[in-house]
Structure 1
Amino acid sequence: MSDVLLRVEDLHTAFTTDKGEVQAVNGISFDLNPGEILGIVGESGSGKSVTAYSIMQILAGNGYVKSGNVFYKGKDILKFSSDEMKIFRGKCCSIIFQDPMTSLNPVFTIGNQLKEAIKLHTDKRGAELNSRAIEMLELVGINEPERRLKQYPFELSGGMRQRVMIAMALACEPDILIADEPTTALDVTIQAQILEEIQKLQKKMGMAVILVTHDLGVIANLCDDIIVMYGGKVCERGTADEIFYNSKHEYTKGLLKSIPNTTNMNQKLEPISGTPINLLNLPKGCSFCTRCKNAMKICLEEPPEELFINDNHIASCWMNVKEAAEKLTAKGRFNNER
């Protein structure tokens, strides 16, 4: 475990509501190594953001981690005291939220909020504190940083506000950066700039990144490994090449078919049929079975176990078990005929 920067083991997170317990995360596990970019993909309600908030322990008041472990450099974060968590957040692990306008306080200047983050985790004060704030704004590509420190969030564009959020997250040089839908509500050009900025800073600072998104197209050329989530569970995980060119879960295939094909503009997009899973009443079998056009009887009755496709690729889908069984049967017939 010493070589692994962050290890999440069988994490279960739930929310108590008037209608019952919402099981938002149902047994997710993964490792994050130093300097690695990990993508977590899934549609709204898949549990990807809740996974990130569980790591940071910033869940809503009705949310709680039911079971599991989250190890940071071998120490279980879930057992940290409130003071230890204050040190962990910002100094060891930082997060960029999806909407910078609601994440930044509208009544305080950019400088006030950025300096507060630096002051909280370092001993910098006075002129040194101001210099560090200017340095961070320059690092994320904001022009006229001295003037920006005196401005309020509403005076900046969406792209600039998101860059300020990145500057705040990286001010204390954390080992891990969690980017939760960092390009939401930004136009395509600014999206590309923000993602390029995150990648450039990751290489420069050597930190590990967890990129949470609903858009597979956003992370195509950015992530080392990708986790696809649905219904609070991991459907598929593997390298970017494996996920994009050798996908083995019907949900992943559905996500890929909903991405515009720039090489063939005549190809129609195929939306995933049905409605998202009800987390108050999880199905007995596969979480995706009610929306899967290839669902079999076993899919309704038994949850699929993770199957190794190869050393760099794992998927939880009964279709893979069926294909493996058919190959073995065909091989047996061939040997018998010989």
Structure 2
Amino acid sequence: MSLLSVKDLHTSFFTSTGEVKAVDGVSFDLDEGKVLGIVGESGSGKSVTAYSIMQILSNPGKIVSGSIKFKGEELVGASAEVLRKIRGNKISIIFQDPMTSLNPVLTVGDQLMEVILLHTGRNREQAKDRAVEMLKLVGVNEPEKRVRQYPHEFSGGMRQRVMIAMALACEPDLLIADEPTTALDVTIQAQILELMKELQKKMGMAIIMITHDLGVVADMCDEIIVMYAGQVSERGTAEEIFYNPKHEYTKGLINSIPTISDERERLKPIGGNPVDLLNMPDGCPFSPRCENAMKVCLEVDPKELVINENHISRCWMNVVEGLENKTFTKAAIEEMYSHE
């Protein structure tokens, strides 16, 4: 049984101008001790997927349909009591900006102790010892002194380490890291990623790493999901995604990663703008920005195609690959689907 199983998840925001389908039919499984990367541009649905798993969506967001099972227990529709026992204890999350996630008027030690006291049977003295232990574990210098300091007395990298310590204080089975290195410089970013890798191996927990940068997850993830417009565009092992990409959006993301092999080579950004979720195109969501879009791409939204047992993609290029005639009518495609 998978540690986490998400099936056909649909999460929408109901606004005055219409329904925004932020997550549109996302499915995946995550086993114990594995690392899953969720990659995509801003607005692709990565963070909303994480918040749906944690059940911390704010109005007007709502899970419309689908299933989220953690260790076989359904979280969609679960009571507040059940969720309270899971959040921060069995499933923890690190948010994007540590400065806005930490309370500026409470010491770092008090905030760490709050989590420990809430989810464990420790008393205040034991909770303080655990807080010092966690700060030491994540590489904060002089932890006995630091527990008495406030967030503004920490650098950005140190605040992020505090957030990691807080998330791991109760030794969760699953850690969700929502762009944990976005606001950090490259050197500190590398340190934080290395720290997370070390802690993951040491504690044996599963991780969902959410980022817009494929380079961040290159050597960290066992499996990668590429999201666009709330959908899973491509899913596969890290090796399959990097060395055998099958979706035009994934190829664009990989091509936009800077390299040092040729300093004169210009970056290749993906053209156009992200799709308007209130006015989705009839066909593939990426088709308005795709250089290789065909007529069928503009008319029919492709379904998931199995490339191999470790790789799926939603792209018409995989259907017509190797065929001389690349002209499909909408009627012909619908006829093909009708026989499934």
SS in structure 1 of the partner of residue 89 of structure 2: helix
Question: What corresponds to 1:109 in structure 2?
Answer: 107
d(CA) in 2 for partners of 1:267, 1:239: 28
d(CA) in 2 for partners of 1:224, 1:256: 17
Question: What corresponds to 2:64 in structure 1?
Answer: 66
Q: How many residues align?
A: 325
Higher helix share: 1
Question: What corresponds to 1:15 in structure 2?
Answer: 13
Question: What corresponds to 1:159 in structure 2?
Answer: 157
Question: What corresponds to 1:307 in structure 2?
Answer: 305
Question: What TM-score do you get using the length of structure 1 for normalisation?
Answer: 0.95
SS in structure 2 of the partner of residue 308 of structure 1: strand
Question: What corresponds to 1:332 in structure 2?
Answer: none
The answer to which of 300-309 and 46-55 deviates more is 300-309
Question: What corresponds to 1:53 in structure 2?
Answer: 51
Question: What corresponds to 1:194 in structure 2?
Answer: 192
Q: Does 1:89 align with 2:115?
A: no
d(CA) in 1 for partners of 2:133, 2:99: 22
Letter in 1 for 2:85: I
Which blocks of at least 5 consecutive residues in structure 1 are unaligned? 328-338
Post-superposition shift, 1:267?
Answer: 1.9
Question: What corresponds to 1:295 in structure 2?
Answer: 293
SS in structure 2 of the partner of residue 79 of structure 1: coil
The alpha-carbon distance between structure 1 residues 24 and 120, as it changes in their structure 2 partners (threshold 3 A), is same
1:1-338 counterparts in 2 under 5 A?
Answer: 3-323=1-321, 325-326=323-324
d(CA) in 1 for partners of 2:239, 2:54: 29
d(CA) in 2 for partners of 1:126, 1:306: 52
Which blocks of at least 5 consecutive residues in structure 2 are unaligned? 326-340
Provide runs of 4+ in structure 1 moved above 6 Å.
none
Question: What TM-score do you get using the length of structure 2 for normalisation?
Answer: 0.94
The alpha-carbon distance between structure 1 residues 305 and 324, as it changes in their structure 2 partners (threshold 3 A), is farther
Letter in 1 for 2:265: Q
Q: CA RMSD in A?
A: 1.0
Post-superposition shift, 1:326?
Answer: 4.8
d(CA) in 1 for partners of 2:39, 2:168: 23
Letter in 2 for 1:31: D
SS in structure 1 of the partner of residue 242 of structure 2: helix
Letter in 1 for 2:143: P
d(CA) in 2 for partners of 1:258, 1:139: 35
Letter in 1 for 2:135: L
The C-alpha deviation readout for 1:103-133, integer Å capped at 9, x for no partner, is: 0010110011000011110011132111111
